[in-house]
Amino acid sequence: MPTSGISDAKPAATVTIRQAVAPEDQARAQVYALLARLYAGGPDAPLLAALGKSEPWAADADSPLAAAWNALILASSVMDADAAEQEYTEMFVGVGRSEVDLHASHWLTEAASERPLVAVRSDLARLGLARLAGSTLYEDHLSVLCETMRMLVAGDGERVPSAIDVQRAYFDRHLAPWVFACCGAICVCPLANYYRRVAEFTSLYMALERDSLAIA
């Protein structure tokens, strides 16, 4: 199964004992984990089955985010794993170049004062995080950025969750400037089928995160 390949870079002896995670932050971390997995590679049959059997979002069924989540559940329940893998490969890997690039560097090259990959690596080092040896995804890949947010929100192993201002700073610097444009490109890509649903949910969830972090 593909993974985003981020780990705690601190020596074990210096890692602080993990603290309890609030239910709402655990839920946020689970969404980030799901997005990290979906953007790391096409979903396999077990993941599609699990998503397809997930509870629909009924408490606020009129909200766009709830509708997008329910649409993703429905799409997962009928999607074939081989077809999902092929769609992922054709859209995000391609031959020579991808139809939609999932790296921040693609979207921010002209506007960024610092190269996005360099900026992400710098912040990861400061946070005590690092790319796992053998990982095929660069640190500015959408999957890796989502996995990093998961770790900042909920911690990992003995790593404690990061303060909300740290989460906000990372999100604002490395996701907010480009993720909505990327999701929009996925949604209009002629090859998109299953990933149109993934991108719609991603965009709406990221908007909720942006607004929630801004007032936290």
Distance CA 128, CA 121 (A): 10
pLDDT at 6: 61
| Alpha carbons 130 and 151: distance in angstroms, whole number | 12
Q: What are phi and psi of 131, to 5 degrees?
A: -70, 135
Which of 133, 104, 107 is closest to 120 using CA atoms?
A: 104
What pLDDT digit, counting tens, does each position of 19-34 carry? Answer: 678 899 999 999 999 9
Specify the number of domains making up the chain.
1
Q: How many CB atoms lie within 10 A of CB 95?
A: 7
Selection from 38, 47, 32 nearest residue 152 by Cα: 32
Judge whether 6 lies within some domain.
no
Residue 144 lies in a domain: yes
Stated pTM of the model: 0.90
Nearest to 107 by CA among 190, 178, 17, 209: 178
pLDDT recorded at residue 52: 97
Confidence bin at 5 (pLDDT 50/70/90): low
Within-domain flag for 13: no
What is the predicted pLDDT for the residue at 21? 83
Can you give the CATH number for the domain in which 103 is found?
A: 1.10.3480.10
Confirm whether 11 is domain-assigned.
no
- pLDDT surpassing 80 at residue 136: yes
Q: Is residue 118 part of a domain?
A: yes
Sequence letter at residue 97: R
Q: How many residues does the chain have?
A: 216
Selected residue with higher pLDDT from 34 and 16: 34
Query: Could you list the residue range(s) of the whole structural domain that residue 205 is in?
Result: 21-48+60-215
**pLDDT over 60 at 104, yes or no:** yes
164-194 residue pLDDT tens: 999 999 999 999 999 999 999 999 999 999 9
